[in-house]
Structure 1
């Protein structure tokens, strides 16, 4: 009897947990702009390339004369000898400490993409976005978009990411030049992604 009760209780709890599956709410950004609807292939991108290098600095560390021990660095067993300096009858013990400092040397680079390996974004007429290609992974979590025409002198596009049970927008600049689409993310310097219309 107990086995049947525990089995029934376990099945009931599993059923409850399975039915608690959260689904994304229905979201519609509205009708799309016909200028952007279709498939666009990445041809050129200007972006920040992360780079760092390390350089060595040397500091002089002094200690009080009462401390006459030899220091051991880490667990390597390397000993550091103190230098003795006598100035006006006062003995000072010093050693040189070497420190490596990392410096950010990021720079901007421009990369062109061949048409043989297409990197594409597809803007649906209903406001949905899909990406394909290894360079388009930035756009994979984005499912919806909307053209923002708030400012008459410039267009922007709002991309929506579903996170924490909400569709959170973020904005990028947008420009159309003949049959070229230019997305302009926010960067310290000028950066962009250029696309040509495929379909």
Structure 2
């Protein structure tokens, strides 16, 4: 949980998402939905909503997250959001809410019977927040992953040990560029607050970014 807060703080330094957030209001909403659904939300999910529940753009920039008061349970799965264009949905099994390691699961939007493990909850939140942020930043671009050695210019935002990573989030050594590596798709998305920052990175790394 401490790791998640530290990572989200780093992201928030690039794009300010906590402006005008009245924390007590969100905490009250969290308590209300917990009582309504008769569950306890994981601390990681609470942290996400405390930071971003009042920010419509962070909830809908690419992934579509339910606002905290709209959370619902379908067939013993807490539905937390959807992929772009509602092709997939993401949820957490009610039976897993008290586990030490909580996994987010994915299923087709219209299928509630075939849930597959997608990512560990903290990684899911970080990866989604990074991609939401990239989609909101003034400057964004994409690059085939074979064209760059990310570790020369970026550090991972969390421990990436293991072979089951579908996505890995990065922040530049200077702390001014976010990156998200979609491993199966072999592409990396980048985002920064200004074109100048990405231009400087493009020149330094001697790469040709595909600007979005």
Provide the TM-score with structure 1 as the length reference.
0.19
Q: Which structure has the greater CA radius of gyration?
A: 1
Higher helix share: 2
